[in-house]
Amino acid sequence: MTELPFAYGGAPLRGKLRVEPEDFFVDEQLGFEASGSGEHWFIHIEKRGANTGFVAKQLAQFAGVTERDVGYAGMKDRHALARQSFTVLAKKGQDTDWSQCAIEGVTVLSALRHARKIQRGALRGNAFVIRLREVDGGRDAAAAVVRTIAAQGVPNYFGEQRFGRGGANVEKALAMFAGKRVERAERSILLSAARSELFNAVLATRVADGSWQVATDGDVFQLDGRSAIFGPEPIGDELRERAARGDIHPTGPMFGRGELRTTDAVHALELAVLATHPELCAGLIAAGLDQERRSLRLMARDIQCEWDGADLITHFTLPAGAYATTVLRELVDWH
């Protein structure tokens, strides 16, 4: 991540991140609430120092069901304080007393009945409150960067969490593509890392040439706040203006089988970048993944910063699939 180009010249501040789990607070925004009736429990929890998979397993054990009967929208950082929701299939003939559920690092905030299982990816976004400690650097310059991020967004890089400890998942993916056998669950993680590496490479090239938020000949666009994409189509003043105000965003490839949807200058750029990673491209095609698109720009909604002595506290909301550290890297060189 340190080698990827910055949008605004590099972080004006330096500081420490995740000194304590409470320094990184994330509140899941599903966009819906418990229905109040149905065959599932809708469990809202707060967790500290526990990963989502561990919590799901413990909830299943407490309720006497299988892990397949537990649903959640997405993974939340282990080294954080996080609030998120799970659904747990209600065991027939059993009225579970969730006040007696004791999981280390987990507090059950509420338990209501719900009509259906929460599916992966079924969330609107996440709200963050992040404290960076012992911060130094230019505060006026930082305030200017925050204003720019609010207006123009940041490059929508996949964060370091996507690539595993020490960024090793890409090398593991290459080994898997070369024939090394891996478990099914790990295979999915490695495929995601390979796609993310290619996406970040394309995005980095467009950040370097200044086109990551500009409507360019051959671009495919995503509507802001929605999954819908359109294009390519002739670039005129209307598309340029919509991109400039953040109504639409250029997209990059989530690589797989099939032809790139882009044309003209953008198509040529993407082909050139992808050609530098032939093993990853071939492996993803052989794995049967299809071409998809992802926004090149990430808008951090309601971003605010305040100082508490030498600590900087940041607040913002991101859409599903985005990384808070991707926003922070434009502001703070964190360790």
- Give the amino acid at 261: R
- Residue 332 is predicted with a pLDDT of 97
Is residue 251 within 8 A of residue 294, CB to CB? The reply is yes
- Domains of the chain in start order, with CATH, are 32-114 (3.30.2350.20), 159-298 (3.30.2340.10)
Query: Catalytic pick from 69, 77, 237, 333?
Result: 77
What's the CA gap between 93 and 15, in Å, rounded? Answer: 53
CA-based nearest residue to 325, from 46, 120, 55, 23:
23
pLDDT tens-place string over residues 85-114: 999 999 887 889 999 999 999 999 999 999
pTM of the model: 0.92
Active-site annotation holds for 77: yes
Helices H / strands E in the chain, number of each: 8, 16
Cα-Cα end-to-end distance for the chain: 12
- For the stretch 29-68, pLDDT in tens is 998 999 999 999 999 999 998 999 999 999 999 999 999 9
Residue 248 predicted with pLDDT over 90: yes
Q: Over the Cα atoms of the chain, what is R_g?
A: 21
